[in-house]
Amino acid sequence: MNDFSALGENLKAIRDKRNLNLSDVSELTGISKAMLSKIERGESVPTITTVWKIANGLKITLNSLAGEADSSYVIKDISKTTPLIDEGGLFKLYNIFPFSPLDGVQVFYGVFKAGYHYEPPMYIHESSDKEYCIVFKGEIDVVIGSKTYHLEEGCGIDFDSQEEHGYINRGEEDAVVCFLLI
């Protein structure tokens, strides 16, 4: 995305295709009409924050704004993903679909080894409002605030992701869990 004149041309084309004027785009993005006009004419080099606001406001990817083709389908393979691993090696978290401003969704694949117990402080997700947790294999306890909920294979729970929460695997086998943050 080094050719900022192309970015401006793409912004103008997107705006025209959607029958939006500069005021409409300004309202959607929080960027002034004057700045948007300068970007479209290639007279201003936008900051990454500005580019992000434009993409987010128009509900398009950064690649679309840059004029690069987006694939409609993405296959993710955890064997090709580097997981986050807790200090003791008992919890692996794969960020399968990172946060996207287009849909506000983030998807994780987690593996809790037998004996895993979160270490305080508990988790809080400030970038999302809701967390969905579904157990595909094994069992886990989900601790939300001062309450504990036991989930077995095939069970799920949804809760406010900004509440303090943690996970415990008291079972004899690994627990495989999918997390969806919205």
Instruction: Give phi and psi for 57, each to the nearest 5.
Output: -65, -35
Read off the pLDDT of residues 45-90 as tens digits, 9 standing for 90 and up: 888 788 888 988 888 877 778 777 656 677 889 999 899 888 889 9
Rounded to 5 degrees, what angle do the CA atoms 77, 80, 85 make?
105
Task: List the structure tokens of 171.
Answer: 């079972």
Contacting residues for 110 by C-beta, under 8 A, at least 6 apart: 91, 92, 93, 94, 167, 176, 177, 178, 179
Question: What is the domain partition of the chain in residue ranges?
Answer: 6-66, 78-181
Which of the residues in the chain have pLDDT under 70?
A: 1-4, 69-72, 100-102, 120, 126
CATH of domain 6-66: 1.10.260.40
Q: Which DSSP letter does residue 113 get?
A: P
pTM score, two decimals?
Answer: 0.63
- Token readout for 61 is 């990817």
For the segment(s) 78-181, the CATH number from 3.30.420.40, 3.40.50.300, 2.60.120.10, 3.50.50.60 is: 2.60.120.10
How many Cα atoms occupy the beta-carbon half-sphere of 86 within 13 Å?
18
Please compute Rg for the chain using Cα positions: 21
Phi-psi map region of 59: left, alpha, beta (phi>0 left; psi -120 to 50 alpha): left
CA-based nearest residue to 176, from 139, 131, 122, 130: 139
